[in-house]
């Protein structure tokens, strides 16, 4: 994800308001790999701006998604989680703690245990693929018994 200041410039270039509240949302998400919910982002922003509304946070998140600066991940039939990493990657969801981790498909350990992930090819039957979502589920290193 771009820096908060770069996002302000991007918003303005697209005719969107770059309010202090939105800047606070950008800062709350910057370099955050935890895949927070909107409510988590709202709580972080409220530490600096106690009167900011959840609706304002949702609007900023929606605008970031529309601009391609933020991804949305829906797992475990729960709340949507937001991902500042918009580069191609998969996710791993821990069944024990429910944390979400980014997984790069070229990870040698992943390929050694799931060789089908190396060089995945999609053939076309007249359809155009514009999005892919791969979610691995299991137990993270912190939750696995020793």
131: domain CATH number is: 3.30.1490
The CATH number linked to 73 is: 1.10.10.10
Contact (Cβ atoms closer than 8 angstroms) between residue 64 and residue 24: no
Are 93 and 78 contained in the same domain? no
Are 78 and 99 contained in the same domain? no
Among residues 82, 112, 127, the one where a domain terminates is 82
Going by C-beta distance under 8 Å and a sequence separation of 6 or more, which residues neighbour residue 143?
94, 96, 97
Between 37 and 124, the higher pLDDT residue: 37
Overall pTM > 0.75: yes
Query: pLDDT confidence of 114, banded at 50, 70, 90?
Result: low
Which pLDDT score, from 0 to 100, does residue 74 have?
Answer: 86
Q: How many domains does the chain have?
A: 2
Q: Which phi and psi (to 5°) does residue 111 adopt?
A: -65, -35
Which pLDDT score, from 0 to 100, does residue 108 have?
Answer: 55
In a domain, 144, yes or no: no
In a domain, 143, yes or no: no
Instruction: Give per-residue pLDDT as tens, 58-102.
Output: 999 999 999 999 999 988 677 799 999 988 888 889 989 989 998
Query: pLDDT confidence of 109, banded at 50, 70, 90?
Result: low
In a domain, 145, yes or no: no
Query: pLDDT confidence of 124, banded at 50, 70, 90?
Result: low
Averaged pLDDT for residues 5-17? 96
Are 8 and 59 contained in the same domain? yes
Contact (Cβ atoms closer than 8 angstroms) between residue 21 and residue 49: yes
When the pLDDT of each residue in the chain is averaged and rounded to a whole number, the result is 86
pLDDT at 41 over 90: yes
Between 144 and 60, the higher pLDDT residue: 60
Are 97 and 70 contained in the same domain? no
Are 61 and 121 contained in the same domain? no
Among residues 82, 107, 123, the one where a domain terminates is 82
Going by C-beta distance under 8 Å and a sequence separation of 6 or more, which residues neighbour residue 11?
17, 18, 22, 63, 67
Are 9 and 69 contained in the same domain? yes
Domain that holds residue 15: 4-82
In a domain, 58, yes or no: yes
Are 115 and 58 contained in the same domain? no
């Amino acid at each position: 994800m771009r820096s908060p200041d770069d996002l302000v410039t991007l918003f303005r270039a697209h005719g969107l308001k770059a309010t202090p509240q939105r800047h606070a949302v950008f800062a709350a998400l910057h370099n955050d790999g935890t895949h927070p919910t909107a409510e988590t982002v709202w709580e972080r922003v409220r530490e600096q701006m106690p009167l900011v509304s959840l609706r304002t946070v949702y609007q900023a998140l929606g605008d970031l998604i529309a601009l391609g600066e933020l991804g949305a991940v829906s797992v475990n039939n729960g709340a949507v989680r937001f991902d500042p990493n918009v580069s191609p990657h998969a996710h791993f969801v821990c069944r024990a703690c429910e944390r979400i981790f980014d997984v790069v498909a070229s990870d040698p350990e992943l390929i050694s245990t799931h060789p089908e992930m190396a060089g995945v090819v999609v053939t076309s039957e007249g359809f155009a693929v514009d999005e892919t979502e791969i979610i691995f589920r299991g137990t993270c290193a912190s939750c696995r018994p020793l």
